[in-house]
Amino acid sequence: MKRKLKIVLILIAISLTGIVIFQIYWSLNAYTINKKIFDSKVIVAMQLAMDRCKKDYFDSVRTVLVKRLSDPSSVITIDTPSRVNTPNNNVNPVLNISFSFHGSVNSNPFQTNVNTYNYYKDMIGHKATVPEVLTEMSFYVPTLMMELTTFLGIDDAMHPSQELSTFIKTHPGIPGNKWPLPKEGIYALPPNYKQADSLKLSRYFTEELQKRNIDAPFILSLPNKGQSEQNFNFHDGETNENVYQYHGFIFLLTHYTRQDEFTLYAKAAIRNPQYAVIKGMMITLLLSALLVLFTIFCFYYIVRTINQQKALGELKDDFINNMTHELKTPIATITVAIEGLQKFNALNDPEKTQRYLQTSRNELTKLNELVGKVLDVAAFERDKITLLKEKIQVDALMNELITAEKAKAAKTVSITYNNRDRVDYIVADKLHFGNAILNVLDNAVKYSNEPADIKIDVYRDGNMIVFSVSDKGMGIPAAHLGRIFEKFHRVPTGNVHNVKGTGLGLSYVKYIAEAHGGQVTVKSEVNTGSQFMISIPM
């Protein structure tokens, strides 16, 4: 049995370790995956935030252009040249657009054709004004943008910077020496706007993160123009970027060869991303931990049950030993008495016959009690006991029990009875309730040295009536106090049982007390004595 239990324990330990290791393995795996998802969410959020910034920028450029072009001091003239100039016979006539602003007129009118013009007009909507259409078109037609900004004298505001203008003007590598398209990202940050823009970018980034259920602090940095990605570093102490780094880039002026000179970077570093990732996995992790705990509990429960079964098995063995002993003694006594009657002609001696018969009768009563006890336990084991409740006079019942106990006790017994609250009667099953009290009384006598000194008190406690039986006997060790009401449990006294018993009495008492709606409790101290209290409702 012990070896088997050991094997079971080892197997359980192995499988538990396996389960825990696998849970950890899968949790780590899940972490890696979630971390990747988190990373891509952050990158997408950054890109969208930057897109929104760009859109804002274009919107503001649009507003400025439309406002300036709509000003009464700007005059826009659109005329169609003669048929001769149109190759397709008027199908798609060319438009000449000239501007005058405070009296200065552009020398070369800007040329486009009707279809193109209408295309941009339709793009805005049917109510589009001429300044609106021209502004929209300038976003796609660089020459028009150049014309407009130069004409309005706001080219510096439109273009990245003075250095960039100079660079483009003097750089032969730029195709066609054209102005860059705002649509493709003329988005420069004049130094004084940098702070405002980084605030805006930060706000958009926060919003985009929130849309993706990420609530983590970050550091955002917009460096100066012309700084390459490699040189782009946070200052010491700003972030733990060496560990984790997220960055989004605003690629600007991508059409031009030396893009690193004009590439703007925006970079965000999430602080403690591990924490944010773990926070997102909280439910899964908790469930996983709960599962592990639950499994551990199940295993613990199995081991405990096995142990209990083992203990019960041992108790049953003890019980059988005890029972054999208890059954054998009266049987042997009766056998001897009958033999005496038969062999020694005791029949002729009425006094002797009487004595032998009385002995046999006493022993038979003991046997009968024992069998009754076992049968009672068997009955309550199967919940077969039905209580027949009746009104019982307390004093009468107690006197009856005390007399019976004194009669059968094999030692000198003194029993004092005190009905402290003058309790008149109780409603209970006379047979079983009486038996329960008798069991406790029996134990008090059994586990006391001669002369046994026993006190019975009956009193009220709230709406309960308590029957208390105290003795000055050997007492019960604290470790066993909680278990004496279990079936077969006896306080071990080494291998010798100087006091005989089955270990069933108190379990029967407990069952009967509870069946009456009450309970049984015990207070005891080794070598001082014990007190059993059976309470039932009034």
Which parts of this chain interact with ligand ADP (CB under 6 A)?
439, 443-444, 447, 471, 473-476, 484, 489-491, 501-507, 530
**Half-sphere exposure of residue 465: CA atoms within 13 angstroms, side-chain side:** 18
Q: Which is nearer to ligand ADP, 432 or 489 (CB)?
A: 489
**Minimum separation from the CB atom of position 306 to ligand ADP (A):** 24
**What percent helix, strand, coil does the chain show, rounded to 5?**
55, 15, 30
Residue 22 CB, nearest approach to ligand ADP (Å):
47
Smallest gap from Cβ 431 to ligand ADP, in A, equals: 18
Helix or strand run (H / E) with residue 191: helix 191-211
- Give the residue with the Cβ less far from ligand ADP, 439 or 468: 439
Which residues, other chains included, contact 120 with Cβ-Cβ below 8 Å and sequence gap of 6+?
128, 133, 136, 137, 140
Query: What one-letter code names the amino acid at 435?
Result: N
Closest CA to 145 of 258, 91, 64: 64
User: Which residue from 408, 456, 453, 429 is spatially nearest to 536, judged by alpha carbons?
Assistant: 429
Phi-psi region of 74 (alpha: psi -120 to 50; beta: other; left: phi over 0): beta
7: Cα separation from own chain's centroid: 33
Helix-helix angle 430-446:505-515, to 10 degrees: 140
Dmax (CA) for the chain in angstroms is: 167
**Shortest distance in whole angstroms from residue 468 CB to ligand ADP:** 12
Q: How far apart are CA 137 and CA 178, in angstroms?
A: 16
SS3 350: helix
Nearer to ligand ADP, 147 or 442 (CB): 442
Omega before 451 cis (within 30°)?
yes
Q: State the residue for tokens 């054999």.
A: 324
Provide the minimum distance between the beta carbon of 501 and ligand ADP in the complex, in angstroms, as a whole number.
Answer: 2
Q: Which is nearer to ligand ADP, 35 or 489 (CB)?
A: 489
**Comparison of 225 and 489: residue with beta carbon closer to ligand ADP:** 489
- Which one, 399 or 449, has the nearer CB to ligand ADP? 449
Least Å distance between CB 443 and ligand ADP?
A: 3
> Are the beta carbons of 226 and 262 closer than 8 angstroms?
yes
Between 18 and 477, CB nearer to ligand ADP: 477
- Sorted by sequence, the CB contacts under 8 Å of residue 425 that are 6+ apart come out as 391, 392, 393, 394
- Residue among 68 and 510 whose Cβ is closer to ligand ADP: 510
What is the C-alpha to C-alpha distance for residues 179 and 371, in angstroms, rounded to an integer? 114
Q: Name the minimum Å distance from CB 497 to ligand ADP.
A: 8
Token pair 């552009």 is found at 106
Kindly report the number of other CB atoms within 10 A of residue 85's CB atom: 11
94 φ, ψ (degrees, to nearest 5): -80, 145
Minimum Å distance from CB 328 to ligand ADP? Answer: 16
CB of 481 to ligand ADP, least distance (A): 9
CB of 313 to ligand ADP, least distance (A): 18
Least Å distance, CB 484 to ligand ADP, is 4
Taking each helix axis from N to C terminus, what angle separates 2-70 and 142-152, rounded to the nearest 10 degrees? 60
Q: Which is nearer to ligand ADP, 51 or 326 (CB)?
A: 326
Q: Which is nearer to ligand ADP, 334 or 506 (CB)?
A: 506
User: Which residue's CB atom is positioned nearest to ligand ADP?
Assistant: 501
CB of 399 to ligand ADP, least distance (A): 21
Residue with tokens 């009955």: 379
Only one residue has tokens 């106990």, namely 405
Query: Can you read off the two tokens belonging to residue 135?
Result: 């502004």
E-strand ranges in 344-402 read 389-393
Which CB atom, from 179 or from 319, has the smaller least distance to ligand ADP?
319
Query: Looking at residue 238, what DSSP letter applies?
Result: S
Instruction: Quote the least distance from Cβ 486 to ligand ADP, whole Å.
Output: 9
CB 97 within 8 A of CB 76: yes
Closest approach, Cβ 435 to ligand ADP, in A, equals: 12
Q: Using CA atoms, how far apart are residues 306 and 301, in angstroms rounded to an integer?
A: 9
User: Among 448, 446, 357, which Cα is nearest to 409's?
Assistant: 446
